[in-house]
Amino acid sequence: MKNIYNDSKMIDPTTFLKFLKGRRSIRSFQDKPITEKELEMIIEAGRWTPSASHRQPWEFIIIKNKETLEKISKNAFYGKFIKEVSVAIAIVGKMKTSSKWYIVDTSLVSMNMMLMAWSLEIGTCWIGAMNREKVKKILGLGENDYLLTVLPFGYIKGDVPDPKPRKPLNKIVKNM
Ligand SMILES: Cc1cc2nc3c(=O)[nH]c(=O)nc-3n(C[C@H](O)[C@H](O)[C@H](O)COP(=O)(O)O)c2cc1C
Sorted by where each begins, the domain ranges of the chain are 25-156
pLDDT at 10: 82
What separation in Å is there between the alpha carbon of 75 and the centre of ligand 1? 17
Of the candidates 96, 94, 51, 72, the one whose C-alpha atom is nearest the C-alpha of residue 152 is: 72
What separation in Å is there between the alpha carbon of 166 and the centre of ligand 1? 13
- Report which ligand 1 atom has the smallest distance to the Cα of 78: 9
Q: In sequence order, which residues have a C-beta less than 8 Å from that of residue 57 and are 6 or more positions away?
A: 51, 93, 94, 95, 97, 98, 101, 102, 105, 106
What separation in Å is there between the alpha carbon of 7 and the centre of ligand 1? 35
Enumerate residues lining ligand 1, CB below 6 A: 24-25, 27, 78-79, 125-129, 164
CATH dotted code for 25-156: 3.40.109.10
The whole-chain average pLDDT of the chain stands at 96
Q: Which residue CA neighbors atom 19 of ligand 1 most closely?
A: 25
Is the model's pLDDT at 1 over the cut of 60?
no
- Report which ligand 1 atom has the smallest distance to the Cα of 107: 1
Q: Which residue CA neighbors atom 17 of ligand 1 most closely?
A: 25
* Distance of alpha carbon 35 from the chain centroid: 17
Angle (CA) 36-40-43 rounded to 5° is 140
pLDDT tens-place string over residues 75-130? 999 999 999 999 999 999 999 999 999 999 999 999 999 999 999 999 999 999 99
Of the candidates 43, 50, 58, 49, the one whose C-alpha atom is nearest the C-alpha of residue 153 is: 43
pLDDT at 79: 97
Per-residue pLDDT band for 37 (boundaries 50, 70, 90) equals very high
What separation in Å is there between the alpha carbon of 61 and the centre of ligand 1? 20
> pTM for the full model?
0.96
